Structure formats: structure tokens, C-alpha cells
Amino acid sequence: MFTAAQSILAANNPGRPDPGEVLVADDLVWPDRPSIGCPASPLLAGELARRGVRAARGHLHVETADTVALRAVFPAAEHEAGLGVAVTGSPALTEQVCGAMAACLAVAGTARTVLLAAPRSFCAGVERAVEIVERLLARRGGLIFVRKQIVHNAHVVADLEDRGAVFVDELDQVPRGATVVFSAHGVSPAVRAHAARRRLDVIDATCPLVTKVHAEAKRFAAAGHTVLLIGHAGHEEVEGTLGEAPERTVLVQSAEDARTVRVPDPRRVSYLTQTTLSVDETAEVLDVLRRRFPALRGPASDDICYATTNRQDALRGIAAAADLVLVVGSRNSSNSMRLVELARKQGTPAQLIDDAAGIRTDWLAGVRTIGLTAGASAPPRLVDDVIAALGGLGPLTVEERETTRETVHFTLPRKVRR
């Protein structure tokens, strides 16, 4: 069991928020005994944010003074863990802070198990794309422009922006002659032609597995086939592939689309897929297409990439044993969304979170076993942060369940090799 106490924050120390502000404790500091860490502080900060309360993070000095503070200490993953918050301001603000603290304490002190899926997080294509931008920033100086998000993860993009990368939606936003990186999702021939007209120094970070799909689209179209591209409208990878042979390519988004799509010659029809789709849903679409078009041809090897397949297989192995599945990834990440859908189809509640602050405490009520994974564009450190935050709420056991070990590595473009 944990014990909670109401305390006062020292008036003249750095652990005191300014009037009208809120401070969430990263650790609780006493003048006469060792401080206690607060690993679950991101969860408390997230609860406050969802209540419209912005909070700073830092040391919370537990001493007598004029600022209301709430703190708790309880057994956690390895040692005692703390949870604390201080507020100066209106009674309404204080009430919101108390509510957020109460929500966290309501799920604290419970022993939990995390079933950690492996493989998870970065794939070889994402690692390659991020390293390309990092090397350019380190070696070239000046502005490095990136068309679209280099990979679909908010933390990756924000980190590279902090280091000097400039992300743009259109090439017209890039000065003539400047360096521009094409994202891991690939681009259409029209975008490449536009870059050439503007005399841009192009560094191509397209995942080689996406490049493979583009080559297949050109080959099938050149053979006079109608290409049925299974994928999601508006996704950058799909837009790039459609652009290879727009007059011969038809987008198929679902089994319903597969039942109604029409082609000029049923004897000359092929299919390709977006690399980040649900394996099970894609199989359903292909079953329909094969029944309708017995002559349907496909790629020599699956277009759904190894990383997408591996992460789905790994999650499938733990979802049924979990009370809740957490998937670390951004909402525009197709492969991350597919992981959430997979868990829910197995009957397990599942939530997509950008980071530890995205965990709602009400999700944890009554939960003893949590399945945890991350999409292929989510940095591994975000998973570590989630584990640390959960461990800050009470005793935590982590069991990694590995289904396969990935050894794939993609070579960097010649322009950025040392």
C-alpha cells in the first residue's frame, strides 16, 4: 500500500512554481534525507495536459512554505517511487491538479507485468532514413530540407528540427539549388522532375523495400497490365507508387473495393501492396481479387515489408495474454495503427500513444498485464520511457517475448557515406 500526504513547497527555492503555474516532480527532495525519484511523472503531466493544465517538470522541494503541494511515496519497480505536484494559483487550478493527482494515485501501488514484444521500434529503412538526415546535419552545415516527414513519428521529426532540419510539404518551399532529402516513403516521378527543374541537390532516403514496389509498378505497367495497388488513399507511399504509372494503376483500399473494381482486360491484371498494411486484411483483399481475376499476377516476393510482418507476428503472440495493449507510435504511422487494430481484433483493448505522457490512468484500472510494442518508426527510447513510467506506479515485471531476430541492414546513399 502507498501512503499519501499533503505538504507545502518551500517559498524560496527552485522547486517552487511561479504564481498560476504547476510543477510536476521528477523527484521529491527533502533537506534531511535522500531524494526519491518520480518515474511516473510523465503520466501525471499527461493527466494535467488532458485537463488543460500546462505544467513544468523539475525538483520538488518538500518543505514548509506557502505553496500547496501534493506528494505520495509507495513501493515501485525497484525502489520506493514518488509522485508529486505543486501549484500556485486559483482554487479552480488547484482542483484540476488535485484531480489529476488522484487519478494517478488510484492506479498506483498495483503489481503489474509488461509483456514486451520483440521485434519492435525502428526497422532498417527507418534507421537508414534518420541516419541520412543526421549525417547531413553533422557534415554539411547550413539548411537541410526534408520533403514531408522523414518517417511518420512526431518525436523523430521534432528532434531533427531541433538539430536544424527544415521539413516542407512542397518543393517550392525549398530554395533553388539547396539540399533536399526525400522521405522514407518515396516520391513519384513528377516530384523528382520538379526537383530537377529547381536544380535541387537530392538525397534519396526512400526505403529500398518501397523502391522495390515502384520498380514492380513500372514493370507491370510496361507489360500492359492494370496494376491494382492495395493501400490507403492519401498515404505518401501510396501517392508515390501511384505516380509511377497513374494511367494504369487503380487503388484498392478494402475487400469491398476488391469486389467492385473494374479493369479493361481481366487477363492482364497485377497487384501490388503498400508495405505497411495489415497482413490479415491484405490476405482478405487478395482472396477476393484472385476469385474475380484468376490470371492475377503479383510480385515475386511480398510487398508488405519484413518489419511490418514481424511486428504484427510479435504482437499477435502477446495480445491474447494481456489485459491492455499499448502501441508506441504516431497517428499518421500506418504500421503502428495496424498494430492497434490487430490487438483489438483479438479482443484486447489497445491504445496508440506517442509517448509515456499519452497513457491515460483510467486505462490502467484493474489491469495487471500490459502488452507493449512500438511501430517501426518509433524510437526505442520511447518504449524504455513507457516501461519506466509504468514502473513508477508500482512493482513491475518485464517479460520480453521475441518471435524473430532482425538482421536486415540497408546501405546509405553514396553521397552521405564517409
Q: Which residues pair with 81 in a beta bridge?
A: 74
Asked if 47 is an active-site residue, the reply is no
Q: Is 270 annotated as a binding residue?
A: no
How far is residue 128's CA from residue 206's CA, in Å, rounded to a whole number?
9
Q: Is 310 annotated as a binding residue?
A: no
Sequence-ordered list of residues with C-beta below 8 angstroms from that of 5, at least 6 positions apart, any chain: 71, 72
* CA distance to 120, 273, 357, per residue, from 305 (Å): 14, 10, 30
Determine the residue type at 44: L
Task: Report the run of H or E that residue 341 belongs to, with start and end.
Answer: helix 334-345
Q: Are the CB atoms for 120 and 72 separated by under 8 Å?
A: no
Q: 10 Å Cβ neighbour count for 408? A: 14
Q: Is 275 annotated as a binding residue?
A: yes
How far is residue 288's CA from residue 103's CA, in Å, rounded to a whole number?
48
Residue with cell 520483440: 118
DSSP code, position 407: -
Q: Are the CB atoms for 335 and 364 separated by under 8 Å?
A: no
Q: Is 235 annotated as a binding residue?
A: yes
Which residue blocks in 198-333 are alpha helix, DSSP H? Answer: 208-222, 236-242, 255-260, 279-292, 306-319
Task: Report the run of H or E that residue 196 belongs to, with start and end.
Answer: helix 189-197
How far is residue 30's CA from residue 219's CA, in Å, rounded to a whole number?
70
Catalytic residue among 237, 239, 247, 281: 237
Cell of 23: 510543477
Residue with cell 501501488: 109
* Residue 170: strand, helix, or coil: coil
Q: Is 104 annotated as a binding residue?
A: no
DSSP code, position 405: -
Q: 10 Å Cβ neighbour count for 331? A: 11
Q: Is 305 annotated as a binding residue?
A: yes
Where in the sequence numbering do the catalytic residues fall? 237
Task: Please state the residue numbers annotated as binding site for isopentenyl diphosphate.
Answer: 152, 185, 235, 333-335, 377
Task: Please state the residue numbers annotated as binding site.
Answer: 123, 152, 185, 207, 235, 275, 305, 333-335, 377
Task: Please state the residue numbers annotated as binding site for [4Fe-4S] cluster.
Answer: 123, 207, 305
